Amino acid sequence: MKPNLEVKIGKLKLKNPVMNASGIFGFGRGFAKIENPSKLGAIISKTITLKPKKGNPLPWIVKVEGGLLNSIGLANEGIEKFVKETLPQYLKFGPPIIVSIAGDTIEDYAQLTEILDKTKGVSGIEINTSCPNIHGGNLPFGSDPKIVKPLVSEVRRRTKLPLIVKLTPNVGKIEPLAKVAEKAGADALSLINTLLGLTIDVETRKPRLGGITGGISGPAIKPHGLLRVWQVFKAVNIPIIGLGGISNYKDALEYIIAGATALGIGTANYFNPKATDEILEGINHYLLKNEIKNIYELKGTLKVDDEN
C-alpha cells in the first residue's frame, strides 16, 4: 500500500508536500524546464506587485560556492498582466496555484489580495515580507513584529483564501515574527527566504551583481533553513513550508523531521530539471522502506536528548 503523502495548508489540500519555491520559474514559461510540473503538490508564482517592476540592474544572478546569489529585485509583470495572461498558463499544469505578493505599503498588499480573492483559479496567497535584494537589503515589513501584525491582519481581512506568510531569516530571533503572523491570521509560514550576501570580482574590485548585494540560495543555506524551521515549529501551531537548499530527497526529509509540513524546491531546479520528481520519488521510497503509512508521522520527529 502506498504511503499517504497528502498534506494541508490551512483548508488547502495538496496531493503531496512538494512544490516549487516562489520565483524559480519566472512566470510559468520556465516550468517547461522541469520534467512534470503536474506532479507538484502546488505551484507558487513569482512574486507579483501592483505595477510592473523592472528590477535591479544586470547581472541578476551569479554562481557562488554552494549555490547562487541573485539580485533580481522583484522584477515582474504586474498584477493585471499576471491575471490575464500568466495565471491561465499556470492553471494548465493542474496543481493548486498559490500567488506570491509584495508591495511598498500595507495598502498595496491589501489591493493585491482583493484582486486575487476575486480571481478564479487562485487557491492561496503568499505574503512575501522578506525579499533580501531590494530596498538596500529587505522589504521593510519582514523584520519587525509591529509591522508584520497589521500587514497580515489587513490581508487576512480581505480574503478567506489560505494565507501563507514568508518570513526573512535575516533577523536575530525569528520566533516573535512567526508568533505574530500566526496570531494575525496566517494559515501557514514559509521559511526561509534567501540570506543576504555579497560577492566581489577581484580583478575590477566591484560587486559581481548589478544590485550590489543579493540573496544566497542553494545547498549552502540548508543548515540555516533547518534551524529556522525547527525553531519556528516549536513556537507555532500552523504548518510550515520549508525551503532553502533542498537538493535531494534526504534534504527534504530533514526539513520534514525538523517540522515542515510542505517543501519548496528552488535552486536545485537550475542544476537538475528532474529535481522535484526525484525528491518526490525518494520521499515515497523512504516512507515505504520504513513502513511509515502517513507523511505526518514523520513531521517534527527530530530526536534531541537535551534541549536547552
Q: Which residues are part of the catalytic machinery?
A: 131
Question: CB count, 10 Å around CB of 270?
Answer: 17
Question: CB count, 10 Å around CB of 29?
Answer: 10
**CB 154, CB 186: distance < 8 Å:** no
Length of the chain: 308
Q: How far apart are CA 159 and CA 117, in angstroms?
A: 6
Cell of 308: 536547552
**CB 119, CB 90: distance < 8 Å:** no
Place of cell 531590494: 134
**CB 263, CB 252: distance < 8 Å:** yes
Q: How far apart are CA 7 and CA 18, in angstroms?
A: 10
SS3 of 123, please?
Answer: strand
DSSP 187: S
Write the DSSP assignment of 237-270 as a string of letters. SS-EEEESS--SHHHHHHHHHHT-SEEEE-THHH
Cell of 7: 498534506
**CB 35, CB 277: distance < 8 Å:** yes
